[in-house]
């Protein structure tokens, strides 16, 4: 992908190629990461010979209903297949293999999927792309190009796919001033100041990347929403985006501030049962749909972290959501976040969402979705799955995950999140609804976006893999995270089998390394205040208890861990009995969740044969060693990859090595200040004093 005038030139070249016109070869660009997984790098060896022998051409049968989506489909196929032959246009021969587009007349939503299979055309062999609608054909074109990029010959490609869930959404935490909350890849990609008159060409490349992995919805603004984004001047801006993204199958959603009737509507209240408030929202919805007929709807964060909501008026979440749902009617959807917690709630913070929402099961309107984070706390490197999954059978639930790495190293090093999401998608709820993937299948999956203004979109090259993996898992959650990693790496870096094996292994293990050096054995929420950067388990004096790391680890001279059994907060009781039974006994629980649910003495014996203290130190050391191993593996790939991106990732890994040691040493220094225990024999000493680590300050850290 290119930006600015380069996009226009590229598209002109693609369209010309699709029409059979001669065009001049474009100069090669340096590898800077902008092209993401859509590089379409030339094939080599047998794969290249097979593609050239097939000499494919793209054919739309006469009378095929045209649309912007079909034009994009033809252009993508022509450009991608030509590029993988090292050409700028497809070159027809008497033996060319026709790739025939058989797309239903409906513009459609792509939910019915597509098929790719050999089929006769005009008395000769051909490869047919079939779909009930135009968007299905676009999805099929990207799937076909992916298969070819992975080295599969055209004659061997047979695919039949449909998305596992209807809503596959990115949530942007972008503010209209260009700042991105918890963003580590530069400023926002949305240029609200110059919209609607000027549409940044990057918006088209962004839509193209999303469509290539099946993402079909985007919330364009922060859940901590600004009311003025509902004003007419912003509706015009939103319309320009919606019009640009429509051919790619992407519907726009807007995060709505619940108190907007007061802030921009001149009303005295925002009570959802007040007729004047309901009328205001109805008029606002009508105004939006007049401009954007396929507007997706509203995402709402209410009565959480100080945001306004229906509870300000003694109303329930259901009453607030249903008021907005009535305004949208059958035109759109209200997505109501279940991430709620309050300072005045004295119970375990991880229990609050369950306590507030389960009693409301069955009370939400049909066009309301309750969006639930993967775990009950807040996107930590590891959490047990959220107990709401399976506990609200009469409510439409949607999974929310975080693609941006707020708690997993932000934008340094490598932390591939496919395994994290696979853990939650495959978690058995124990309540008859099956695994989490089955609970959310009728609704969808949302990811907090990690894109920004950096040239490579995501801050580090490997963070692109998390954007990619989110789309692939939302489309097909049965895919393995390892398979996704391999196909991403092959399209993004290299097809060399040995290098691919190394990169895939690095990615597979990377998230576990981060867990080990930041929060082993179920520890969580140990990061610095505000910016969430680096270790700060010693913070105990913040005004709200649940903001403090001490609230979560509860360490003292006697032990460490949060007792969430019946003897403690009984958060374990929110899970189905069969699941709770698996985690109730510290002697048999999966050690990954040990200190999440149990408080143990430092000298408690673990099944590993070590004491709790010795096991903690071993896990921290394993995290550091794992990052060192990744850096060494990457270093050995220097000759197999382009020099610029290899150097950039090497620098990222150097940062991660330093940060892994910082986390390990600062954490151990603090735990030792409490338990007074020496490090186990053979463990490396802590590099600095606890006071030195506590004195570190980062007011300029991204995400502050």
Q: Is 392 helix (H, G, I), strand (E, B) or coil?
A: coil
Catalytic status, residue 271: no
Asked if residues 415 and 403 have their Cβ atoms less than 8 Å apart, the reply is no
Q: Are strands 114-121 and 124-133 parallel, antiparallel or unpaired?
A: antiparallel
Residue 506 near residue 479 (C-beta atoms within 8 A): no
- In three-state secondary structure terms, 685 is coil
Q: CA-CA distance, 535 to 531, in Å (whole number)?
A: 11
User: Residue 679 is encoded by which pair of tokens?
Assistant: 């490090």
* Separation of alpha carbons 326 and 324, rounded Å: 5
* Rounded distance between C-alpha atoms, residue 393 and residue 389, angstroms: 9
C-alpha separations of 353 from 303, 316, 441, 458 in Å = 11, 13, 21, 31
Q: What is the torsional sign of CA 298, 299, 304, 305?
A: negative
Is 274 labeled as catalytic in the residue annotation?
A: no
Distance, CA of 702 to CA of 413 (rounded, Å):
15
Query: CB 452: neighbour CB atoms within 10 A?
Result: 24
Residue 459 CA to residue 183 CA, distance in Å, equals 9
Of 406, 454, 487, 621, which residue is the catalytic one? 406
Which tokens is 508 given?
């597979």
- Options 305, 558, 585, 590, the catalytic residue: 305
Q: Which of 313, 311, 305 is nearest to 357 (CA)?
A: 311
Q: Is 46 a catalytic residue?
A: no
Helices 275-291 and 317-328, axial angle in degrees (round to 10): 40
**SS3 for 140?**
helix
Closest C-alpha among 99, 132, 104, 98 to residue 116: 99
Q: Which residue of the set 76, 133, 378, 546 is catalytic?
A: 378
Report CA-CA distances (Å) from 423 to 24, 419, 502, 554: 49, 6, 23, 26
Q: Point out the residues that are catalytic.
A: 305, 378, 406
């Amino acid at each position: 992908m290119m930006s600015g005038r380069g996009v226009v030139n590229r598209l002109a070249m693609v369209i010309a190629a699709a029409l059979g016109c001669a065009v001049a070869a474009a100069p090669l660009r340096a590898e800077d990461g902008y092209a993401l997984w859509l590089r379409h790098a030339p094939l080599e060896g047998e794969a290249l010979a097979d593609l050239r022998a097939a000499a494919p051409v793209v054919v739309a049968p006469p009378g095929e209903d045209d649309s912007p989506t079909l034009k994009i489909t033809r252009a993508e196929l022509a450009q991608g297949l030509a590029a993988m032959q090292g050409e700028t246009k497809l070159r027809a021969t008497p033996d060319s293999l026709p790739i025939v587009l058989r797309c239903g007349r409906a513009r459609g939503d792509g939910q019915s999927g597509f098929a790719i299979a050999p089929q006769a055309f005009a008395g000769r062999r051909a490869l047919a792309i079939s779909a009930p609608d135009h968007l299905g054909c676009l999805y099929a074109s990207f799937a076909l190009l992916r298969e070819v990029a992975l080295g599969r010959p055209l004659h061997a490609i047979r695919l039949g796919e449909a998305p596992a869930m209807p809503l596959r959404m990115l949530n942007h935490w972008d503010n209209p001033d260009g700042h991105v909350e918890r963003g580590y890849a530069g400023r926002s990609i949305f240029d609200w100041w110059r919209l609607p008159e000027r549409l940044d060409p990057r918006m088209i490349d962004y839509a193209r990347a999303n469509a290539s992995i099946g993402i079909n919805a985007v919330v364009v603004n922060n859940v901590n929403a600004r009311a003025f984004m509902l004003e007419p001047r912003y509706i015009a801006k939103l319309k320009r985006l919606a019009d640009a993204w429509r051919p790619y199958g992407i519907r726009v959603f807007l995060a709505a501030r619940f108190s907007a009737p007061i802030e921009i509507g001149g009303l005295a209240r925002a009570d959802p049962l007040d007729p004047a408030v309901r009328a205001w929202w109805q008029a606002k919805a009508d105004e939006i749909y007049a401009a954007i007929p396929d507007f997706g709807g509203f995402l709402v964060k209410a009565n959480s972290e100080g945001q306004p909501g229906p509870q300000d008026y003694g109303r329930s979440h259901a009453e607030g959501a249903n008021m907005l749902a009535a305004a949208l009617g059958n035109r759109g959807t209200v997505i109501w976040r279940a991430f709620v917690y309050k300072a005045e709630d004295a119970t375990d913070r991880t229990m609050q969402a369950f306590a507030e929402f389960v009693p409301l099961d069955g009370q939400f309107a049909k066009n309301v979705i309750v969006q639930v984070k993967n775990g009950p706390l807040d996107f930590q490197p590891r959490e047990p799955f959220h107990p709401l999954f399976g506990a609200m059978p009469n409510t439409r639930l949607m999974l929310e995950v975080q693609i941006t790495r707020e708690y997993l190293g932000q934008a340094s090093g490598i932390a591939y999140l496919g395994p994290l999401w696979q853990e939650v998608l495959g978690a058995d709820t124990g309540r008859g609804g099956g695994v989490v993937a089955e609970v959310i299948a009728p609704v969808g999956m949302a990811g907090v976006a990690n894109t920004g203004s950096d040239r490579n979109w995501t801050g580090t090259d490997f963070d692109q893999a998390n954007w990619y993996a989110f789309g692939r898992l939302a489309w097909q959650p049965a895919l393995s995270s390892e398979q996704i990693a391999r196909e991403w790496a092959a399209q993004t870096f290299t097809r060399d089998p040995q290098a691919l094996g190394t990169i895939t292994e690095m990615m597979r293990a990377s998230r576990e390394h981060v867990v080990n050096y930041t929060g082993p054995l179920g520890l969580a929420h140990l990061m610095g205040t505000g910016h969430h950067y680096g270790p700060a388990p010693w913070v105990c004096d913040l005004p709200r208890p649940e903001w403090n790391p001490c609230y979560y680890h509860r360490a003292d001279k006697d032990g460490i861990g949060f007792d969430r059994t019946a003897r403690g907060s009984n958060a374990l009781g929110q899970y189905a009995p069969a699941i709770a039974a698996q985690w109730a006994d510290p002697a048999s629980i999966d050690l990954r969740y040990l200190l999440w649910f149990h408080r143990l003495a430092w000298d408690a014996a673990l099944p590993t044969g070590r004491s709790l203290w010795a096991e903690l130190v071993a896990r921290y050391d394993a995290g550091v060693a794992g990052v060192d191993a990744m850096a060494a593996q990457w270093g050995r790939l220097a000759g197999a990859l382009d020099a610029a991106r290899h150097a950039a990732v090497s620098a990222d890994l150097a940062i991660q090595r330093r940060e892994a040691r910082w986390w390990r040493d600062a954490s151990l220094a603090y735990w030792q200040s409490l338990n007074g225990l020496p490090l186990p024999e053979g463990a490396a000493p802590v590099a600095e004093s606890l006071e030195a680590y506590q004195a570190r300050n980062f007011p300029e850290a991204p995400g502050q």
